[in-house]
Amino acid sequence: MWPIEEIPNRDTLYYRIHQSYLIRGELKPGAFREIGDSMSTDWSKYSTPSDSRSRAKKPEQNGIISLKVGSLRQLKLTVVHAPSEDNKSHSLVKGVDEVEIRLKLLYKLRDTADDHIQWEIHPMATN
Amino acid sequence: MVVSTVVSRDVQPNGYRLSGKANGINPSHISMRRNDTLLSSGWHPFNYSVDHKNLITTYGIIADPSFVINGINDLSSGHQSTHVVVKLDSLQQVELPAELGEIAQAIEESKYILELTDNFDEEDAKACEFATWERAVQFLVEYSKWVFKSFHYVIDRPQIYDGPHGSIDMLWGTDRYRWLINFPEDRTQPASFYGDDFKLDQIKGTFNPSIDSRRVFMFLLGTN
């Protein structure tokens, strides 16, 4: 098993978004959701956007966004490294389900001038 | 009189030809609104076909629009149509003043939610049940009607989405404010909301959408 490390604020997490979370070209706020008690992501230290996408059941139906760890912590979200046997990069973000957080994450992603959260691979993009 | 909110379009050399049913009246003008809300609604003269009882008009603009009919002037009676109707299912429907046509359209467009099935995202997402969607829609209908009746003000049109864990998200976003309400699947739990004006004004909390909580949302009357 991999050791648990501290994730620095300057690093990035990759989050997978299925194409069903887009409608009429717009991302739904429900795209940001916790499974269990946290949102599952991959740490950039051990993963690339492509790696993260390839972990989906149907990679071609998924996109990847990047989230700066410091920006998430500014929103008072908890970010922890939680490696699993087959994914050393696996990391958790806790507190995402609150409406305030989901709304702010959505707007940060929509704001093209804000590079703290942005698309790395768009769901509509083809390989 | 019931007015269809569905308007079909044909591309013509000088614009778009729009058509829709009007229950066989003899109309003189229709009030239309584009779905992007950038154009204000207004009364537009048009022709109609007696044989087909259809409204037909040509609206010469460049962009690719879709429209909703807000109202129809009845030439024969001199009365303007007053309501739009949205069917929720085969048994239930809601009725809104014609001026709230965009709210009706938002509800119509949200019906995609009812077609989602569990695991629609390949990550075990839970589909939304009809009762949850209906609860959110009924809140929107009652709230928008109350505001219109009380202040003669048409609230901004929200987007209605499937939310996390079988819930419904209702999102308002303008250049003046942003606002998100979440209606959970569990009816014993309150709806939660957050809104701000991108500056210092913000509000968040919970409310029971099944009872009179309308005054909580005065924020949606605008921040000007």
CA A15/CA A70 separation, integer angstroms: 15
Q: Is A56 an 8 Å CB contact of chain B? A: yes
Q: Is B204 an 8 Å CB contact of chain A? A: yes
The conformational region for residue B53 under phi > 0 = left, psi -120 to 50 = alpha, else beta, is left
A18, A21, A29 ranked by CB distance to B171: nearest: A29
Question: Using the beta-carbon criterion (under 8 Å), do B161 and A28 form an inter-chain contact?
Answer: yes
Provide the Cα torsion A86, A52, B160, A23; round to 10°: -140
Question: Using the beta-carbon criterion (under 8 Å), do A30 and B167 form an inter-chain contact?
Answer: yes
pLDDT at site B66: 52
Picking from B82, B14, B21, B27, the residue whose alpha carbon sits closest to that of residue B52 is B21
Helix and strand totals (H; E) in chain B: 2, 15
The residue type found at A71 is S
Picking from B177, B144, B126, the residue whose alpha carbon sits closest to that of residue A103 is B177
CA A17/CA A63 separation, integer angstroms: 5
Distance from CA of A16 to the nearest CA of B (A): 10
Say whether B3 sits in a helix, a strand or coil. strand
Q: Is A33 an 8 Å CB contact of chain B? A: yes
Tokens for B14, please give them: 């000088």
CA B3/CA B15 separation, integer angstroms: 23
Partnered with residue B54 across adjacent β-strands are: B21, B49
Q: Is B36 an 8 Å CB contact of chain A? A: no
Lowest-confidence region among B28-32, B91-95, B134-138:
B28-32
ipTM value, please give it.
Answer: 0.94
Tokens for B76, please give them: 């024969």
Say how many CB pairs under 8 Å bridge A and B: 62
The rounded Cα B126 to chain-centroid distance in angstroms is: 25
For the stretch A49-62, pLDDT in tens is 999 999 999 999 99
pLDDT at site A5: 98
Pairing of strands B191-196, B8-12: unpaired
Question: Using the beta-carbon criterion (under 8 Å), do A29 and B163 form an inter-chain contact?
Answer: yes
Searching chain A, which residue's CA lies closest to the CA of residue B202?
A: A100
pLDDT band at B216 (very low <50, low <70, confident <90, very high): low
Question: Using the beta-carbon criterion (under 8 Å), do A18 and B192 form an inter-chain contact?
Answer: no
Q: What pTM does this model have?
A: 0.77
For the stretch B190-202, pLDDT in tens is 999 999 999 988 9
Residues of chain A contacting B182 with CB distance shorter than 8 Å: 99
